Amino acid sequence: MNQAALSAIATTVRCLSMDAIQKANSGHPGLPLGCAELGALLYGEFLRHDPADPAWLDRDRFVLSAGHGSMFLYSLLHLAGYGITLDDIKKFRQVGSKTAGHPEYGMAPGIETTTGPLGQGLATAVGMAIAETMMAARFNKPGQTIVDHYTWVLAGDGCMQEGVAMEAASLAGHLGLGKLIVFYDDNRITIDGGTELSFTEDVGARFAAAGWQVLKGDMYDAAGIRALVADAKRDQSRPSLIALRSVIGKGAPTLAGSHKVHGAPLGPDEIAKAKEALGVDPESQFHVDPAALDFFAGRRKELADERAAWLERYAAWRSAEPALAAELDAMLAGRALAETSWPAWDQGASVATRAASGKALAAAAVAWPQLVGGSADLTGPNSTQLPGLPYARSNRAGRMIHFGIREHAMAAVSNGLALHGFRPFCATFLVFADYLRGSLRLSALMGLPVIYVLTHDSVFVGEDGPTHQPIEHLAALRAIPNLAVLRPADAEETNEAWAMALARTDGPTVIALSRQNLPVLPKADPVWRDTVRAGAYVIASTKDEPDTTIVASGSEVALAMEAAKLAVGKSVRVVSVLDRELFLSQPAALRHTIVPPGSRVVACEAGRSMGWDALADDFLGIERFGESGPGAQVAAHLGLTAEALAAKL
């Protein structure tokens, strides 16, 4: 790319960004104006991609972690040929537009992940970079390389201040992800003003300490940036941070370098003067330089040739490696490679659902080679051990990831793995769902089938006390749209929970599991494994129509069955509710076959009552924080007993 083409692209990015934000009367012009030249280099030279096939398996991934600067991305996708039209740009931030306020995965080709919550993009990109190494280790063969791409990120000061980014950066450095390259837009401005208000640390030193190669340069020195990228690519043992000193809002005559240009339209007068300085008609709207279009027309031909060469290699690989090709096809289609042989359990056996989950996970891992993941330093307590050596810089073929005590980054990394086609799981205690909630919410928003294994699901955790005893967490998780929350009552239901989670392709699943042993319960419904796909089933029935129905989840199902026996003179049905929100979404006719409408309904769960009123007339649970002591004693102290439930009947 010559300097004239680079300038034409940068000018177009600036003009489109200024006009779209002004028309919407909303947006963030500072980053697109400040980083326009870098965008030209990224899409014009650095990225290996093909707009004609946005889902090309071996494309480079670009993540705009500073997602508020979304017009930077939309402008470049328009120029590069990804199908974002000028009309789309004119509808920036409008209902139904492809050009949402922050990049939304699935809204338009070329948007690799949803960004906006700062730091999330960088953390998700770490997952993408891990995925690239995993795929390369699995599928590349000597002389046959089909996976060999980079993950690129543009992050700003906001990303660097969010904890999730540093959690992920620490993991990336430890793992030596040499094909991860992060550009740091070092403009030293945030919404409130200069970063000196709250942020004076040496970011480069922090990343260097985490095991990164740190390079520094000038955002507007194209030759220098090319040299820095070459340096980054030469070091395959470390991820690279390229810190580029920049001017926020560059080109805005009175606002450049000010926090005022971060998140508000420039105004007509400022835009007119900026365009005039750029050599553009001040009266023009949504200016696109023909030289920029001409450049990308030629660039698309070059990129198409690169992909065509790859397709030839890919066809040869498929012919030579049919078993690996079948595995890759299953992975990309989101299906198992074989039937899962779920563990069998004897009725009356006593086993914690977390232990049963570990057996189910091991069985699923055989049928689902793309199932990968791990826990936040709780492999034993979460029962999430996978066979073989763990994933590491010395073993890219490993399937189990030691995430370390980094819950938030763990979930974001899992999103990155899912975006590459893996079926990731991650695990911690249920109470620490608060630490990963931001990333989990993005799993749900993007519709990614991440499986969250959350154990120690109630006050039966016991002696660890109220800091570790979840009370409000099930209610809080159920409040997230498009998140399935499954709480199995016993080992058999745990198998079904895993089967349901793996069958889900359009969103994440939480499997909440007990620390304490639970009995494998008799099931009144002979086809309960089918019925439970509706979210609930009758686990203990009556000869006649019940006058009372207990609906319960998890460990409280066994408690409900005890209470039913204590309720002398009552005809009591017990319903196990594996997924409450799924059950509530069923047609009334189906729900009434399980919970009769003429029956008094009492719900029981070791947590807050929120949401149960949609199903039950009364509730036994826990509306306060717990206590430290043996689990059964804590539950009795808090009134969660079969006797207390029977009294409510």
Q: What is the DSSP letter of 44?
A: I
Q: How many CB atoms lie within 10 A of CB 231?
A: 14
CA distances from 598 to 462, 548, 595, 613 (A): 38, 9, 9, 16
- Residue 112 per-residue DSSP state: -
Distance CA 309, CA 303 (A): 10
Contacts of 393 (CB under 8 A, 6+ apart): 174, 175, 176, 237
How does residue 569 score in pLDDT terms, banded at 50, 70 and 90? confident
User: Using CA atoms, how far apart are residues 417 and 98, in angstroms rounded to an integer?
Assistant: 24
Place of tokens 């200069």: 194
The pTM score is 0.98
Contact 124, 131 (CB under 8 A): no
- Using CA atoms, how far residue 289 sits from 2, 9, 22, 86, 286, in Å, is 15, 7, 19, 13, 10
SS (H, E, C) 462-478: CCCCCCCCCCCHHHHHH
Q: Is 27 helix (H, G, I), strand (E, B) or coil?
A: coil
In CATH terms, is domain 350-519 a member of 3.40.50.970? Answer: yes
d(CA 572, CA 569): 9
Q: How far apart are CA 154 and CA 461, in angstroms?
A: 42
pLDDT band at 568 (very low <50, low <70, confident <90, very high): confident
Q: Are 164 and 127 contacting, i.e. CB atoms less than 8 angstroms apart?
A: no
Known catalytic residues are 407
DSSP state at residue 240: E
Q: pLDDT digits over 218-238, tens only?
A: 999 999 999 999 999 999 999
**What average pLDDT is seen over the chain?**
97
Query: Same topology for domains 3-303 and 350-519, yes or no?
Result: yes
Count CA atoms within 13 Å of residue 445 on its CB side. 17
Helices (H) and strands (E) in the chain, counts: 25, 19
pLDDT mean over 384-392: 96
Fold for the domain defined by 3-303: Rossmann fold (3.40.50)
Residue with tokens 């109630």: 458
- What tokens were used for 646? 């029977």
CA distances for 112 relative to 104, 246, 258, 573, 593, angstroms = 9, 25, 30, 49, 44
For the chain, give every domain's residue range.
3-303, 350-519, 530-648
**Residue 280 pLDDT greater than 90, yes or no:** yes
Amino acid 96: pLDDT: 94
pLDDT > 90 fraction of the chain, expressed in percent and rounded: 99
Q: Hey, what are 138's tokens? A: 């699995």
**In the 8-state DSSP scheme, what is residue 109?**
T
Tokens of 625: 């924080």
Q: At how many degrees (to 10) do helices 433-446 and 120-139 cross?
A: 70
Query: Going along 107-264, which residue ranges are E strands?
Result: 151-156, 180-186, 189-190, 193-194, 213-218, 240-245
E strand intervals along 441-562: 451-455, 484-486, 509-512, 517-519, 536-540, 548-552
CA distances from 365 to 74, 358, 495, 545, 579 (A): 39, 11, 13, 43, 23
Looking at the DSSP bridge assignments, the partners of residue 135 are none
Cβ count near 60 (within 10 Å): 19
Q: Are 605 and 612 in contact (CB under 8 A)?
A: yes
Question: What is the distance between the alpha carbons of residues 649 and 641, in angstroms, rounded to a whole number?
Answer: 13
Rounded Cα–Cα distance for residues 73 and 43 (Å): 10
Query: Domain spanning 530-648: which CATH class is it, in words?
Result: alpha beta
Residue 318, token pair as written in the block: 């498929």
